[in-house]
Amino acid sequence: MHTLIKPKKTFSLADLKEVWQYKELLYFFSWRDFKVRYKQTAIGVVWAIFQPFITMVVFSIFFGQLAKMPSDGIPYPIFVYVGLLFWQFFSGALSEASGSLIASQAIITKVYFPRLILPISATITKFIDFAVAAVILVGLMAYYNYLPNLTGLLILPLLLLITFIASIGGGFFLAALNVRYRDVRYVLPFFIQILLFLTPVIYPASIAGEYSWLLAMNPMTGVIKAARAAILGNAPINWELLLISGVACFVMLIIGIIYFKKTEKHFADVV
């Protein structure tokens, strides 16, 4: 008896069911990625704190002190660190997901499993990085005697969900593209660096003035602005902008899945 498995060109609910059936494998890949990232490193999990902290310090010196960048009345280190938390979740997950198929090429060519699992598992590990790095934000707010908006914290799961959808949507597309064109791993860091300055991480979205609609096209703009409003309570949450971000992220997810499924049949041949 032989079972013939044919890849589907389009996404369907059966794909979600199949991913759920392989949930133990998803857990294994996520745990593997976490151990590979931290087990044999010199500073381990501390790197998840060190990277955003040093970035915050550099931005605070050059943009907060020297360039006098406005921060909506919030201490600049706190202002920029909230943005960095969500930005590094997004950028880190995008980078890891884009290389997930290449990193697992030995498995892809030998064993069948839902390929969607690989980018998803690479993105899930970023939740741990986010939780660890958030400890620094608590310390910063205590240092500046800045009380968080406890009511606003209730929407953080929604903001993380939107960020996850944006990361996994872009990750699906870039992972599939990276299989065929290995240049992606060289172009992506430059693209992420440019996108950082097109996202209100180091400056408030209000600084764009009449061109703020351009920033609204960036899915992470609504997330970061809502995160600052929710955590710091400096302004009401712009639900309209957050809705635009949510819709944009959902569109990214649909495009990413469609392209992933369309090219999936070639993965084992060209990876």
The answer, yes or no, to whether residue 234 has pLDDT greater than 90, is no
What was the pLDDT predicted at 45?
67
Please name which of 4, 142, 161 lies closest in space to residue 77, comparing C-alpha atoms.
142
Count the alpha carbons within 13 Å of 21 in the hemisphere toward its beta carbon.
Answer: 9
- Model confidence at 79: pLDDT above 70: yes
Mean pLDDT of the chain: 85
> pLDDT tens digit string along 145-194?
888 877 778 899 999 999 999 999 999 999 999 988 888 888 999 999 99
Please tell me the pTM assigned to this model. Answer: 0.88
Rounded Cα–Cα distance for residues 128 and 112 (Å): 28
* Three-state DSSP class for residue 199: coil
Mean pLDDT along residues 124-150: 88
* pLDDT tens digits, 13-71: 677 788 888 888 888 888 887 777 766 665 666 777 888 889 999 999 999 888 888 88
Angle at CA 58, nearest 5°, toward 53 and 63? 125
Average pLDDT over every residue of 102-107: 84
Confidence of residue 9 (pLDDT cuts 50, 70, 90): low
pLDDT at 224: 93
3-class secondary-structure state, position 169 = helix
Question: Which tens digits make up the pLDDT trace of 183-192?
Answer: 888 899 999 9
CA distance 90 to 88: 5
- The pLDDT score that the predictor gives to residue 71 is 86
Enumerate the H helices of 60-155 as residue ranges: 76-98, 100-103, 105-108, 117-143
Check residue 8 and report its DSSP letter.
-
Domains in the chain: boundaries: 13-270
Q: What percent of the chain has pLDDT over 70?
A: 89
